[in-house]
Structure 1
Amino acid sequence: MTQPHSHIATMAPYALAQMAPPPGKALVSLAQNESLRPPSPLVIKAAAEALADGAAYPDPDWTALRHALADLHGIAADQILCGNGSLDLIGCLMRVYAGPQRSVLMPAHSYPFFRTASEMAGAAVVTAPEQEETVCVDTLLAAVAPETSLVCVANPGNPTGTRIPKSELLRLRAGLRDDVLLIIDEAYGEYCDDDKTRCWDMVEDGGCVVLRTFSKAYGMAGFRVGWGLFPAAVAAQLRKVMNPNNVPHASQVAAAAALGDQAYMRETCQITGTLRDAAHGTLQRAGFDVVPSHTNFLLIRFDSAELAQEVEAALIAEGIFLRRQQGAGLPHALRMTIGPETATRAAIARLIQWKTGGVV
């Protein structure tokens, strides 16, 4: 029998959310960080119309989408690459710049796919301690080694929900060698976007990549569209390993339509933020340890991994699914997506019921 590469054989598979409710219980899914409402009506209309062109291959240059992104953000269209979700782009970056005899550095509680993609490329994974579940630039810089080729930072972080200011990202980039590429994953960037936080200009010196996605604030997880701004030299190398038909035509058209309805996206972020902050306050008043968040989810910490597992079981018994975070080095924590108000309230009520030992 043909044998896999040794570094693949020893890998743990990427952990997928398990969401099979008990018999008779309706599924309440708050484990996937999906949007609490569907995409803009403009997206649905554009995607439906694009299905008629399904016999043709998609545009391998994502021309209309790239130019729509460039116009919206005031960035260079020829430095934009699109992927089948931002995971696709992360994987391509690892194939090009990681690998044997190289290491990838990331915060201790990073987005778990950073680790998975690094291991798929055969690279060593190195983590640096965080402070209160927040990226620490000092520990990252202290952990840089001669073999470090990539540093990965999600900002805001997943699963923590915390973020560091742009000034800290600039300090991190300034402290890295020129041959180390900094990847800034802003999958949740729209939830805290403003002129002071945008990092597009950090790409100009050639040592930084900024990634985003349509999966979160735009409510388009099922369309699988990610994108990023890349230095020209990096983009040229990534093109060599990318699937030339990675983003379906209907998804490209739908994403471009989403960009044309910024009011809808901003309303989604506002609704989400209001529910998130209310949920944070309610849980905190009930005695839960909840990390302040800049995203569409909350991280709830417990005194032990065993306690987190007990709470998870109590929720699942009612068909409510949150996400344990052992893969991110937080086995004592559950991540709760801010979903539709009814679903979020049901999860909070069950958590409080567990906490008090009473009846909702």
Structure 2
Amino acid sequence: MIKPVSHVGAMAAYALADLGGPDTISLAQNESAFPASPAAIAAGRAVMDQLPLYPDPEWPELRAAIADVHALDPARILCGAGSMELIGCLIRAYAGPGDHVLGTDYGYAFVSSASAQVRADYVKAREVDLTVSIDDILSAVTAKTKIVFLCNPGNPTGTVIPNADILRLRETLPENVLLVVDQAYAEFADEAHDPAEVFALVERGDTVVMRTLSKAYGLAGARVGWGYFPTAIGGEVRKLLNPNNISIPAQAIATAAMHDQSHMRDVVRQTAGIRDAFIQQVRAARVDTPDSHTNFVLMRFRDVDTAQKIDAALRKNGLMMRGMGGYNLPDCLRATICSAPIMDRAAAIIKEALT
């Protein structure tokens, strides 16, 4: 029998969401409730005749669009097949056997998988009330810590910390520790948290900021993420990226989506309205639900049995939410925000099951 290398053989596969059957409506993947910009869809269709060609490995138009929207240096932008590719390459470039990659209790689970791929140890700092604690992160830093991952807004919690906390974290961390700020859901919080303050940290040379077009832009299927990197760090990560990682249609779609900021902001506004109405409904049913700054809601039930009962009731009615046992939150379900009628239906099922 041909065996894999020992550390790969010992790894568990990355846990994917249970999507149910063909008649199930999934509220498990944090996908957008709304379609992508019509301009983006049209841009993708317009380049389908270019499929015999390899895509541009430098993503020039996409980088320029991102830089224009966020007032950034396009030379410092790297694009990936989702932010997952960038996270994986960053860890491979800057962590190895015996190193510590530090996250938080409920940080993005893929960081743990990517750390295991290079035999680095993934360490978790405590969160307080389902919210990142800067003091607990700093207390968990040791001489072995090479990278700190901060997910803000948080997934699966939906909570957010102010930019001032992120700036304090960077100022207090040792200079030889790389800080990665994962902002996959930032568009849902940008209005209250100036993104320029966090992007400016990249100028220090020891911080990376990640974003994606999967959520607010409705492009999960296109697989386009991006990051803002210090020049030296970006150069090392670029060595590990697939040189043709984003297809020609995906680059065209993402570029047009970035240019259509009004569509994105409208999606964020509508999603937030449906989200907040759903939160009010489940809170009225006495479900513990933190404020969310994302396109999903975390619900904490009184015990594990109740969470399982709610999950079963939803499944029986053709709805699927995400169980949070993998995040050590077995009494929780996470609900992606869908259309208002679907969320009203989900709230009614939850209320009925509880009463």
Report the TM-score, using the length of structure 1 for normalisation: 0.96
Q: Give the CA deviation at 1:98.
A: 1.6
Deviation of 1:344 after TM superposition, in Å, equals: 1.3
Aligned pair 1:303/2:302, yes or no?
yes
Quote the residue 1:314 is aligned against.
313
Deviations 1:218-252 (A, max 9, x none): 00100000001000010010011110011111100
Structure 2 residue matching 1:322: 3-state secondary structure: strand
**Superposed structure 1 runs of 4+ greater than 3 Å apart:** none
CA contact (8 A) 1:87 1:113 kept: yes
Query: How big is the shift at 1:101?
Result: 1.5
Deviation at 1:5, TM superposition (A): 2.2
Find out whether 1:40 has 2:37 as its counterpart: yes
1:119, distance to aligned residue in structure 2 (A): 1.2
Q: Does 1:120 align with 2:94?
A: no
Residue 306 of structure 1: how far off its partner (Å): 3.1
Q: Which residue does 1:336 correspond to in 2?
A: 335
Q: 2:25 aligns with which of 17, 28, 35?
A: 28
Residues 179-235 of structure 1 show CA distances to partners (whole Å, capped at 9, x for unaligned) of 110110111011111384311101110111000000000001000000010000100
The structure 2 residue matched to 1:137, chosen from 134, 157, 181, is 134
The answer as to 2:352 corresponding to 1:348 is no
3-state secondary structure, aligned to 1:204? helix
Across the two proteins, how many residue pairs are aligned to each other? 353
* Contact 1:156/1:186 (8 A) holds in 2: yes
- Find the counterpart in structure 1 of residue 85 from structure 2: 88
Alpha-carbon distance between aligned partners in 1 of 2:320 and 2:351, rounded to the nearest angstrom: 15
Deviation at 1:319, TM superposition (A): 1.4
SS of alignment partner, residue 262 of structure 2: helix
Q: Distance in 1 between matches of 2:247 and 2:236?
A: 22
On the 8 A contact 1:165/1:197 being kept in 2, the answer is no
- Describe how 1:58-69 pairs up with structure 2 within 5 A: 58-69=55-66
1:1-360 paired onto structure 2 within 5 Å? 1-21=1-21, 26-194=23-191, 196-198=193-195, 199-356=198-355
Change (3 A) 1:287 1:196: closer
Give, in whole Å, the separation in 1 of the partners of 2:193 and 2:182: 17
Q: Deviations over 1:237-278 (max 9, x none)?
A: 001111001111110010010012111110000000011111
1:273 counterpart letter in structure 2: A
1:33–1:143 distance in 2 versus 1, CA, 3 Å: same
How many percent of aligned residue pairs carry the same amino acid? 45
Moved more, 189-198 or 122-131: 189-198
Distance 1:354 1:39, change over 3 A: same
Q: What is the Cα-based RMSD across aligned positions, in Å?
A: 1.2
